[in-house]
Amino acid sequence: MQHFASDNYAGICPEALAALQAANAGHAPAYGEDEWTQRVSDRLRDLFETDCDVYFVFNGTAANSLALASLCQSYQSVICHEIAHVDTDECGAPEFFSNGSKLLPARGDNGKLTVDAVRELITRRDDIHYPRPRALTLTQATEVGTLYRPDEIAALADLAHRHGLHMHMDGARFANATASLGLAPAEFTWRAGVDVLCFGGTKMGLPVGEAVVFFDRKLSEDFAWRCKQAGQLASKMRFLSAPWLGMLEDGAWLRHAAHANAMAQRLAAGLQGISGIRLLFEVQANGVFCSLPAPVMTGLRERGWRFYTFIGTDGARFMCGWDTLPESVDALLADIRALAR
């Protein structure tokens, strides 16, 4: 039975597994000195159409925390959305890696930061008792499955840069965002002013690992040492990097992401026909958030479905993955319909 609790429930997609197996041939230098790591890094530079610095770390917690730590000192701060994963679901990881950089949460509809809310936090105070904002982070796709348009990102980046902040993008679901926007990755990253991107690999279909992509290469100085000290340097790096080759080969990563997005659309369409159920956010990526009557929630769980309630609302979160089957979506919908009667 497939679940909608998290896109982490899915396994390794075929292209990634094949590449991992292909990389398992003979001896290879450790710690990233191998050919696979080199090749994937070049492919990512091709993908982003620029000469960026690329590093591979083990998970998203570390990718975002290390990236943010490289952007600000312990006595400075990071502006994020109040429902940003880095603030709500990392158990203090950004503060741990940075040795105390504060996260300053800002409000904004649909999980998206607004220029006004960010400006208020930047300009509010300038005294020594306030940790000066030095980085701005946004999540693309957002935690509620919405997307920033390139112009929205550019406006935030412009504001950030004018005030000396660096621009970070949490791309745990960057593939879903790219597939949905139908734009070249460069259009809504560095061309829009993003300095550092954490490109999510795990949710996309890899076994383990994310890529940290520095478009502003000055910011990546010594990043390899930072990763090493923080326990994020893989000895057999090829097994973190090689799977990316399979994903990037003939657009597999976008095909899988587009499929997950389509399953979310299928689910959303089905839900809209059911009385008493309301979509909480526009479905722009692979997540569907809707209000569910308590009895329906209970009933679904009794029937074995796993999913998260959406903190702070009576809502439910349904995530679709690269392997979500139409039959699974339809089965879920059928149960919701039955319970909603």
CA-based nearest residue to 175, from 153, 156, 197: 197
Query: Per CB under 8 A, which region of 19-27, 42-50, 108-116, 264-272 contacts a copy of itself?
Result: 19-27
Measured from the CB atom, is 44 or 93 closer to a copy of itself? 93
Q: Does 11 bind a copy of itself (CB under 8 A)?
A: yes
Binding track, positions 108-147, relative to a copy of itself; x by CB under 8 A: ----------------xx--xxxxx---------------
Least Cβ distance, residue 272 to a copy of itself (angstroms): 26
Which tokens hold the place of 202? 């795990």
Q: Are 316 and 307 in contact (CB under 8 A)?
A: yes
Find the binder of a copy of itself among 40, 44, 48, 65 (CB under 8 A): 65
Query: What are the backbone dihedrals phi and psi of residue 46, each rounded to the nearest 5 degrees, phi first?
Result: -65, -45
How far apart CA 186 and CA 278 sit, in angstroms, is: 35
Q: Which 222-241 residues touch a copy of itself, going by CB under 8 A?
A: 222, 224-226, 228-236, 239-240
Alpha helices, DSSP H, located in the chain? 14-23, 35-48, 60-71, 85-88, 93-98, 115-123, 150-162, 174-181, 223-229, 238-248, 252-272, 294-302, 326-340
Q: Which 68-87 residues touch a copy of itself, going by CB under 8 A?
A: 73-77
Measured from the CB atom, is 25 or 294 closer to a copy of itself? 25
Region of residue 163 (phi > 0: left; psi between -120 and 50: alpha; otherwise: beta): alpha
Measured from the CB atom, is 94 or 193 closer to a copy of itself? 94
How far apart CA 72 and CA 160 sit, in angstroms, is: 13
Least Cβ distance, residue 311 to a copy of itself (angstroms): 8
Q: Does 95 bind a copy of itself (CB under 8 A)?
A: yes
Find the binder of a copy of itself among 164, 302, 306, 314 (CB under 8 A): 306
Q: Does 20 bind a copy of itself (CB under 8 A)?
A: yes
Query: CA-CA distances (angstroms) from residue 164 to 113, 122, 161, 296?
Result: 18, 10, 5, 49
Residue-level length of the chain: 341
Measured from the CB atom, is 139 or 155 closer to a copy of itself? 139
Find the binder of a copy of itself among 52, 62, 248, 300 (CB under 8 A): 62
Q: Does 25 bind a copy of itself (CB under 8 A)?
A: yes
How far apart CA 45 and CA 54 sit, in angstroms, is: 8
Residue 228 CB neighbour total at 10 angstroms: 12
Q: Does 27 bind a copy of itself (CB under 8 A)?
A: yes
